[in-house]
Chain A
Amino acid sequence: SQQGEEDPQALSIQEGENATMNCSYKTSINNLQWYRQNSGRGLVHLILIRSNEREKHSGRLRVTLDTSKKSSSLLITASRAADTASYFCATDVSNYKLTFGKGTLLTVNP
């Protein structure tokens, strides 16, 4: 079953714009992770945010976590064509098993 659900399912923006993706989940978590997947490839880990953290940054990425609302957001600033990919949130409730949503397909147009 899907624990996390990303919103929107698809997002199309112009290069240089910011992209925001949201994730909602149902149960208490240990941490929440964001991954990127290019077509036909494996997943690349972007950011892990623990349940006691509210915000983390990594380069052009900013992740927030609101455990009271059971939601997270991923912001990509100054997007590039190379950011085109599917983005998944994954929740960790067991310290080993990740439960993924269906992902957001981001298209960045040059």
Chain B
Amino acid sequence: DTGVSQDPRHKITKRGQNVTFRCDPISEHNRLYWYRQTLGQGPEFLTYFQNEAQLEKSRLLSDRFSAERPKGSFSTLEIQRTEQGDSAMYLCASSWGPGNQPQHFGDGTRLSIL
């Protein structure tokens, strides 16, 4: 299967700890997106890369959050000093082209903060 892959699928950690998630997009896709989804809500946009350049960050992405996409391939999302409110599903998606293309999502990483 050559879909979007996310790791880990689940992460349980104590408040105050740092966590890092990884996303491997579909190989030929130049665009990569991170979204966050809480229970009963639709996904909310966090950030977007075109190749290795991070082109937009949502106001939801506080200074405790950082995302990278070195070499324009896989991406990592790090949350420092986690808080209870960070508990959510973190979804990664990728797409090809300049726009008007569907985004293909991974199965997400579910983060639970104790």
**Chain A residues proximal to chain B, CB less than 8 Å:** 2, 4, 30-31, 33, 35, 40-45, 48, 50, 88, 90, 92, 95-103
Stretch at the interface among B11-19, B72-80, B102-110: B102-110
Instruction: For A50, list chain B residues within 8 Å (CB).
Output: 100
Chain B interface residue bracket vs A:
20 to 34
**Chain B residues proximal to chain A, CB less than 8 Å:** 4, 6, 31, 33, 35, 40-45, 48, 50, 55-56, 91, 93, 98-108, 110
Known: A100-B42, A102-B42, A103-B42. A95 touches B105 (CB 8 A): no
Instruction: For A99, list chain B residues within 8 Å (CB).
Output: 45
CB of A99, distance to nearest CB on chain B (Å): 7
Instruction: For A41, list chain B residues within 8 Å (CB).
Output: 107-108
